[in-house]
Structure formats: C-alpha cells, structure tokens
Amino acid sequence: MAEENKPDAAPAPLNQNKASIEPIKKASIFLMSLGTEDAAQVLKHLGPKEVQKLGVEMASLENVGKSQVESVLDDFLEDVGSSTNLGVGNDEYIKNMLNSALGEDKAGTLIDRILEGGSSAGLEALKWMEPRAVYETIRYEHPQIQTIVVSYLDVDQSAAVLEQFDEKVRIDLLMRVAALDAVHPSAIQELNNILERQLSNSSGSATAHLGGIKTAAGIMNFMDSAAETIAMDGIREMDDDLAQEIQDLMFVFDNLSEVDDRGIQALLREISSESLILALKGADEAVQEKVFGNMSKRAAELLKDDLEAKGPVKVSDVETAQKEILAVARRMADAGEITLGGGGGEEMI
C-alpha cells in the first residue's frame, strides 16, 4: 500500500465540515442543543452502554460553533423529513429495519422481544447494574435462571458476572449457555416475575433465541485470561468437542493480524492512542506490524516511539486495553463495517 493512501489513526477534529463529524459526536451535539429536560427524555430510551458512551462524548465537547450546531440540526430535520414510516408500527418494517441495522443473528433476539410479546423489563434492569450486584441478585437462583440471565446480558458484562462465581459453577454455567438455543416466553416471564416481584401476562408460542456456543465463546473472550484458561480446561475435561467448538469461535487480540488492511484502518479510527499503545505492549510482532503497516510512515514512527517510551506496564492493564479494542472490533463486525478472521483461544501475554 502506498504511503499516501495510509491514513493516520488520529480522530478527525471536531471543527471539520458536518459530513466528517462522527455519528456519536453528532448525537452528542444534538442532545446538548436540546436542553437538560428534553435530552433526559431521549436518554431514557437508550441502554446503559449507549448512555455512558454519549455521556463521555458530551463531556469532551468543547468549542462547538453555532454553524456546527445548525448543521447537525439540519441533518436531523432532513433525516426525519425523509422518513415515511414514523408511527406506522408495521411488523415487517420493524423486522427488516432491525435485520438491516444489526444483522439477522443479533436482531433475532430483539425482534422476539419486541414483536412476540415477551416482556424483558426485569432482565433489562440488570444491564444497568454492576456485575457484583447482578451476581448477588442471581447467586441463589436455579442454574437455568442464571443461564438465561448470563445469556441475555452483553457478553462483556456476562463475563464479569461469571467471574464472581466459584470455578465449578462458572464452568457449569458456560456449558449450559453453550447448550442453550431457545427459551419459551413463559420462562422469560417467570424470570421477570422473580426480578420485578409483579405479575405479567405472556402469550404466543414463539421462542426467544438466547445462548448457544457463539454466546459462550463471546463471554469467554471477555473473561480474565486466567479464568478463561481454567474454564476452557474444565469444559474440555467434560466435553472435548464442545471445548473445541467454543475455542474455534473465540477471537483474541493476536487474531487481528488476520483482519484485512481496510478493516484495520477502520478500527484504528475508532480507538484511542493510549489504548492502542497499551494493547500493543503485549501483542505479538505480526499484530504490531499489521498496525504499523496501516498507518502513515510518520504516525507509525510516532507510535513506535511511544511504545518504547512507555516502559514496563502491568499485564492486567494490557489485557484490559486489548479487550476494549476487541469489543470495538466485534461491534464493528456486527455492524458489517469490518470482517474478523481467524480464531483460537490462546492466552494473552
């Protein structure tokens, strides 16, 4: 790749034209322009991670000019004005929209929750809780209930919750997650009754798609390296074929060397320099060269200098940075922005 075609990893400055403003910055500028009460009403409809991400972005905004705010509002009005399905509530439209936005695998569970009548308010409330608090909530529940909860949460939160359990229970729950495929709405409703302490009706015979080997692999990707190794060894001891299937679906930091150049360039635009420096301290040479090769010569030299100047760092800090970058990579892969290749469950250095 010619040097002039390799972009720097640095994010675009905020004062560029509206077309170059990242969506998260546009959303932040829009919310800031609404005022406290209206912005709060919007945020009430978002998930915990979305709220956190927007909050961090809004806190970092500075020197936003009047012309920028007007541009963002113009974009919003244009998007709303071009929409013809507001308020229609058509099931087919909702299915197509979610499948297009998230992909069939990820949209499936949402479609089940939205269209098939299965209430999940109690489970949603758990997403706002700290992992330890979730653990305390479900620690004495039946393993099947624990499995549904772990399968329902985002994989990084699930990993943090599982790490609170004893090793034997953790391995058992991972195997249950891998074996889980579909859950009847009555089971979801029963769990919500336990969590919310109130009755609610459920109808229909549809199933909610939760768990599976892919979910188990995703959870293990976010577990602490030592806990991940122990869990994998425990699963392999009981079911070697299952362990291999899980391992084949896991994607670790060193697998980034197998992502194509375009994907690496897109990923670099989404991560901070500090996270990248920490993550590369524990990466193998192939990953480092992949990153350097997809930056301009000047940016690569600066990054190499920063790596040398960083000095020794804690293994836990390296692992945290690598997992953060992997989380971004998986989000982009789910959105169809990049393609992840490779697999394996090697322990991170």
Instruction: Tell me the domains of the chain and their CATH numbers.
Output: 10-81 (1.10.220), 116-249 (1.10.220.30), 253-334 (1.10.220.30)
Q: What is the pLDDT of residue 170?
A: 92
For 251, which DSSP code? -
Is a pLDDT exceeding 80 seen at residue 242?
A: yes
| pLDDT tens digits for range 171-226 | 999 999 898 877 777 777 777 776 665 323 333 334 455 668 888 887 887 777 77
> Residue 165: is its pLDDT beyond 90?
yes
Burial environment of residue 184 by CB neighbours within 10 A (0 to 12, 13 to 18, 19 or more): middle
Report residue 99's pLDDT band, with 50, 70 and 90 as the boundaries. Answer: low
Angstrom distances, CA of residue 192 to CA of 119, 129, 349: 8, 15, 41
Contact between 342 and 255 (Cβ < 8 Å): yes
Q: How far apart are CA 69 and CA 31, in angstroms?
A: 10
Q: How confident is the model at residue 92 (pLDDT cuts 50, 70, 90)?
A: low
Helix (H) or strand (E) holding 208: strand 208-209
Whether the per-residue pLDDT at 327 is higher than 70: the answer is: yes
Report which of 259, 291, 331, 339 is spatially closest to residue 24, judged by C-alpha positions: 331
Distance of CA 221 to CAs 242, 246, 345, 347, Å? Answer: 16, 10, 8, 10
- At residue 116 the predicted structure's pLDDT band, cuts being 50, 70 and 90, is very low
Three-state DSSP at 9 gives coil
In the chain, the largest separation of any two C-alpha atoms, in whole Å, equals 64
Decide: helix, strand or coil at residue 182: strand
* pLDDT at residue 97, rounded to an integer: 58
Cα–Cα distance measured from residue 125 to residue 149, given in angstroms and rounded to the nearest whole number: 11
Cα distance between residue 225 and residue 319, in whole Å: 8
Q: Which tokens go with 315?
A: 């293994």
Q: Which of 222, 299, 292 is nearest to 253 (CA)?
A: 222
Q: What are the beta bridge partners of residue 208?
A: 183
**What is the helix (H) or strand (E) element at residue 209, kind and residue range?**
strand 208-209
Is 158:148 a contact under the CB 8 Å cutoff?
Answer: no
